Amino acid sequence: MPLRTLLTRRKALHAGLAQAACLAGLYHPAYAQQTPSAPFAPVEEIFRKAIQNGKMPGAVAAIGHEGRMVWRGVFGQRSLLPQEEAMTWDTIFDMASLTKVLITAPSVMQFYERGLIALDTPACHYLPAFAANGKQDITIRQLLTHYSGLAPDLDLSFAWQGKQRGVQMLMNSAPQTPPGEQFVYSDLNFITLGLIVEHLSGQTLATYAMEHVLNPLGLHNSFFLPAPSYLSIIAPTQYDESGHMLRGIVHDPTTRRMGGVAGHAGLFSCAQDTVAYTQAMLNKLAGLPSAFPLQAETLYLMSTPQQPAGKTDLRGLGWDIATHYSTARGAYFPSSSFGHTGFTGTSLWLVPNTRSFVMILTNRVHPHGQGNVVALRRDVATAAALALRTLDH
């Protein structure tokens, strides 16, 4: 289908919605790069109050619109324990499940573009051992949309260790519900997809991602397995089972047991890289010049509903559109918008029609795993949409 047709269809699909209408034409060409702080003062206040209320130690955030970063903020502390450190714009965060959409899904879709992966082909076509115990009919599309029927995670109730053991447990797992029947957000889906990327590329997921996703975008502060030289600017997460503060070591326990690299978690990145990634993606999706290493038509598939017919939990090929995880949309961003969150406190929500985005990076689990940014994400997105609306008045 031609790109122009795809873009026209996306716009027509939501043109009648009041929410979309109120966000249309937000940007004025004469708008200066230096943003007045007043429209975003409510956003800043939300962050300050959340830190005061102990929801997270600090945050780095940005709002973009029509190809520009129109606001950014740095709040609170990067570290509270074992010593206090101020948050900085260049802080590197454990991106948690944003790994799924920033790395694994686009890697899979690169093989799709090359004709090496078909969306409705069973995953066992690429990983024969995956067929065991009733998984033979689970397709690539079902893995990408979380309609596979697999359990949310591997069993962590006993002390297994090593990638080989994790892979063996995945291959031996059985679906909890029939494939295609129910939306269940599952790390196993993206562990499987990461393994397929490794099988088809002959590289580790970390190496493949660096060569085919991150380097083409010029992102040099994004990686798996951070080098020790980065530790001083990495936001720590929380104490592990041995009382060691995790810093530069992935927070997700399954990924940690598998060596720090997996399809569902393990990416570390910073605000500047995440903004650059997001802007490149939105530009490509809009048919504008962009270094993003996928075609616009592919990004359209990733960011529009691709779940089984008749299902009301809406997922793209990786991205969240309308599920109980979608509160990060806020009250005013249109139904054509999409995003994703990460357990450590990271989130990204994108509005393709206006090339808008809200990026929030926190280490809300620091230092004892008690933080909560669910309300923060919702409230910031709501305030951001209202602030963007004022820029054109």
| Per-residue pLDDT tens digits for 29-78 | 222 333 446 899 999 999 999 999 999 999 999 999 999 999 999 999 99
Tens digits of per-residue pLDDT, 261-306? Answer: 999 999 999 999 999 999 999 999 999 999 999 999 999 999 999 9
What pLDDT does residue 2 have? 54
For the chain, list the domains and their CATH numbers. 40-392 (3.40.710.10)
Tens digits of per-residue pLDDT, 74-96? Answer: 999 999 999 999 999 999 999 99
| CB distance 13 to 6 below 8 Å | no
**pTM given for the model:** 0.91
Tens digits of per-residue pLDDT, 335-381? Answer: 999 999 999 999 999 999 999 999 999 999 999 999 999 999 999 99
H or E segment at 8? helix 3-14
Higher pLDDT residue, 146 or 25?
146
| Dist CA 371 CA 327 (whole Å) | 17
What pLDDT does residue 5 have? 52
What pLDDT does residue 391 have? 81
CA distances to 2, 27, 245, 251, 258 from 159, in Å: 51, 53, 19, 16, 12
| CB distance 94 to 253 below 8 Å | no
Contacts for 366 with CB less than 8 Å, ≥ 6 apart: 56, 57, 79, 80, 81, 235, 236, 237, 238
